[in-house]
Structure 1
Amino acid sequence: MAMERETDLPIVVGVDGSEPSLRAVDWAADEAALRGVPLRLVYASLWERYEGAQLAEDLGKPSEQVRAEDIVATAAQRARLRRAEVSIATDVLPEEPEYTLLRESRIASLLVTGTRGRGALTEALLGSVSLTVAAHAHCPVIVVRGSHDNQSLPATHGRIVVGVGGGARTTDGAEEKPTSAAAVRFAFEEARRRGAEVEAVRAWRCPAHETTDHPLLTGEPARLHEQRAAEALETALRDAPADVVLHRRTAEGHARTVLADASRHADLLVVGARRRQRHFGLQLGRVTHGALHRSSCPVAIVPESG
């Protein structure tokens, strides 16, 4: 039997009945329509063990009446009302939610989750399932942020922001090729689908311990760091397609802060996460972790090799 092409793989959404997961369904339905792929809604019945006991209260039912079938049926109906042209499948699995979604990520083009937060305060915090999935999935993961009601925000900015990270230093102090190749490709592909522009951002900082007494930094330490950031950005974007409007920007500051600020005027924030040997799956660094918790728009976490 022929292998399924990547473009035919479904978008998988983890649902649990909460408002954040229903916003994730909205976002995923729109994306499935853009890509022309099926939508798969998955409920893992042990989810409440990790995410709290408020699910029944959220749905306005006694806990004994909250059934997995009701949850996925409600999510499917919502997706059909939003995007009638999308093919929708559902599944209820009596498994650990992390295990279920990580397995699903092997046969998905995208894996979409909500933040699992409740209210203006807890919305800033990711649930343990969403954070684990973002760290270890085998396909790009979208964590839907940026709205505090039960509706997914429409794409209104026409802009996708991608964070361009730096590579490791060589022995002579030069920076190797930035480690954001997959994230940059993903951002351009999404921009094409949406007719959006791309803003590629590279943050830089001048460490406090680097003074003008340093032989390589005499007189202009900040300027040298900014120049290195600009060079890293150009390296990452050297294969940028000509059919997408591209804005390049370097900014001084912590990358997680710079990207969070940029997300205020974006429809999607894209960051890469590296696979590391001797670790299981993706390890979220401080930048990616900060983006997931502070972004004003949905965040795409794209696996990077190397």
Structure 2
Amino acid sequence: MTKPVVVGVDGSASSLDAVGAASHEAAIRGAELRLVHAFGRSSSHLPTGGPPWNPAGSGVRELLDGTLAAAERRAQAVAPQVGISRDVTVGEPLVVLEIASRTASLVVVGSRGLGAFSSLLLGSTSGHLAAHGRCPVLVVRGRQNRSGPVLLAVDDSPASEEAVRFAFTEASLRGADLAALHVCRTGSADVYDGPADPPFVTYDETHLREHAERVLDAALAGPRASHPDVPVVRKPVAGRVRHTLIDASADAQLLVVGARGRGGFRGLLLGSVSQAVLHHAQCPVAVVRHGGESPAAAEGGEGDHP
């Protein structure tokens, strides 16, 4: 049985966009859509008259019914054939969605929200769900369209392996091309990404391109054989990681990244590269955490460095 697609709902415009994206994902997977709304004690969007830990309190039921009804209408408009369930839970949204991810095929969230959801993608919480979630996380931002390729950020880390498999599956489900991008690091250009950049970096472009081709060969071989229906475009590029990913996302319908990498994508979800992608990518971003690492390991070490 296909696991459900879970989407965080809080009544904001961003969460309704996430519901639309989640309903489409549920439809192409043949899965149920699960609407999750969490009541946290700090939820500033709750009305007065009832404590936030009591969903039956005065005014809360009306708010809840309106929020979830609007979400259901959006979902049905996108994919009327998809079954929908509601899950109203007491707890902080990040914790609730983390728990929901244990029985989901995908968790979908908007890039901005109300109350406790408002910080979901800001600061250290941007890596929390990806580091602790048990399934891929789709962050809905930028342009919402179904044209263009699925853009895959490839490196030579274990985290990239899971992202590659997810990207091939997603491209197959969407009937889209897969653009596999490996950024060839030009010296320190992936770290120094501002006024302090060195004026120039000397590097052997031929050597970098050969290395990028080897990385792409190794990463794509297995999944490509499993998905012969997916056209693949290889993109070995020399440049700065953040700028390259953001620029490339302009023509993509989805950007897929691994939650833990090395080389050009080192610390992708917990450092400056991750913040740039999550805040500035021009299309939705799917974050695929490496299943072989424990959540604690995914958080620790060098993750907070660029």
State the TM-score, normalizing by the size of structure 2.
0.75
Per-residue displacement from partner, 1:67-97 (whole Å, max 9, x unpaired)? 2332122211221232210000011111111
Write the deviation string for residues 232-285 of structure 1: whole angstroms up to 9, x where unpaired: 12111122133210010111122222111111001110001139xxxxxx9635
Aligned to 2:244: 258
Question: What runs of 5+ residues in structure 2 fail to find an aligned partner?
Answer: 48-57, 190-201, 262-267, 294-306
- Residue 68 of structure 2 is aligned with which of 68, 72, 83? 72
Find the partner of 2:112 among 112, 116, 126: 116
Structure 1: 5+ residue stretches without partners: 57-62, 148-152, 168-177, 210-218, 276-281
The residue identity in structure 1 corresponding to 2:186 is C
Structure 1 residue 154 corresponds to structure 2 residue 145: yes
Say if 1:42 and 1:92, in contact at 8 Å, map to a contact too.
Answer: yes
SS, match of residue 90 in structure 1:
strand
RMSD (Å), alpha carbons: 2.9
2:26 aligned residue: 32
Q: Which residue number in structure 2 is paired with residue 85 of structure 1?
A: 81
In structure 2, the partner of 1:193 is: 173
Q: What is aligned with 1:163?
A: 153
Q: Does 1:291 align with 2:285?
A: no
- Structure 1 segments of 4+ aligned residues over 4 angstroms from their partners: 53-56, 63-66, 127-131
Equivalent position to 1:126, from 121, 124, 136: 121
* Aligned residue in 2 for 1:107: 103
Cα offset, 1:208, TM superposition? 5.4
Which position in structure 2 is the counterpart of 1:46? 40
What is the distance in 2 between the residues matched to 1:192 and 1:244? 6
| 1:170 corresponding residue in structure 2 | none
Match of 1:221 among 204, 209, 214: 204
Instruction: Tell me the secondary structure at the aligned position of residue 238 of structure 1.
Output: helix
**CA distance 1:245–1:44, change in 2 (3 Å):** same
CA contact (8 A) 2:147 2:253 kept: yes
Separation (CA, whole Å) in 2 of partners of 1:189 and 1:113 = 20
Name the CA distance, whole Å, in 2 between partners of 1:84 and 1:245. Answer: 29
Return the letter of the residue paired with 1:126: L
1:125-152 superposed Cα distances (whole Å, 9 cap, x missing partner): 93466653233211000000114xxxxx
Contact 2:126 2:270 in 1 (8 A): no
- Structure 1 CA distance for aligned equivalents of residues 206 and 46 of structure 2: 52
Structure 2 CA distance for aligned equivalents of residues 117 and 154 of structure 1: 21
1:279 is matched with: none
1:179 offset after TM fit, Å?
4.0
In structure 1, give the amino acid aligned to 2:12. Answer: S
d(CA) in 2 for partners of 1:133, 1:47? 20
- 1:173 maps to which residue? none
Contact preservation (8 Å) 2:187, 2:203:
no
When normalised by structure 1's length, the TM-score is: 0.75
Change (3 A) 1:283 1:269: closer
Partner of 1:236: 219
Percent identity for Structure 1 against Structure 2: 42
**Would you say how many aligned residue pairs link Structure 1 and Structure 2?**
256
* Aligned residue runs from structure 1 range 12-27, under 5 A: 12-27=6-21
Deviation of 1:113 after TM superposition, in Å, equals: 0.2
From the superposition, tell whether residues 115 and 55 of structure 1 become closer, same or farther in structure 2 (CA, over 3 Å): farther
Distance 1:14 1:208, change over 3 A: closer
CA distance in 1, matches of 2:271, 2:247: 18
Instruction: Determine if the alignment matches structure 1 residue 94 to structure 2 residue 77.
Output: no
CA distance in 2, matches of 1:220, 1:270: 28
Supply the distance in 1 between the matched residues of 2:7 and 2:19 (Cα, whole angstroms). 6
Contact 1:164 1:179 (8 Å CA) reproduced: no
Cα drift, residue 288 of structure 1 = 3.4
Q: Which residue is 1:136 aligned to? A: 132
SS at match of 1:180: helix
**Change in CA separation of 1:130 and 1:288 when aligned onto 2, cut-off 3 Å:** closer
